[in-house]
Amino acid sequence: MENESTLRRLKTVEGHLRGVIRMVEEDAYCIDIIRQIQAVEAALNKVSAKILEDHLNSCVITAIQGDDQKERERVLKEITEVFEMSTKV
């Protein structure tokens, strides 16, 4: 099941984030902390990309193949909004 894989990945990220928190608490070297934060961000980006891929292959395809014009427009607008938010830093 895809949800199990996603949850497993997120729990791994959670463990890494706890490690980053511990590093900050222990006053670890700043660059080492930044590298670990970047690793957490990369892992979250992979999870996000996988969830988006699953969404495109299920909900979006269903909406596009359906007869409801408003639903097609809605899902395409959602994808556009997600893309726009991902490009804002």
Asked if 36 contacts 48 with a C-beta cutoff of 8 angstroms, the reply is: no
Instruction: Give the amino acid at 26.
Output: E
Give yes or no for residue 41 having a pLDDT over 90.
Answer: yes
Give yes or no for residue 1 having a pLDDT over 80.
Answer: no
Give yes or no for residue 13 having a pLDDT over 60.
Answer: yes
Classify domain 2-86 at the CATH topology level: Methane Monooxygenase Hydroxylase; Chain G, domain 1 (1.20.58)
For 63, residues 6+ apart whose C-beta sits below 8 A from its C-beta are 71, 72, 74, 75
| pLDDT mean over 64-75 | 92
Whether the pTM exceeds 0.85: the reply is: no
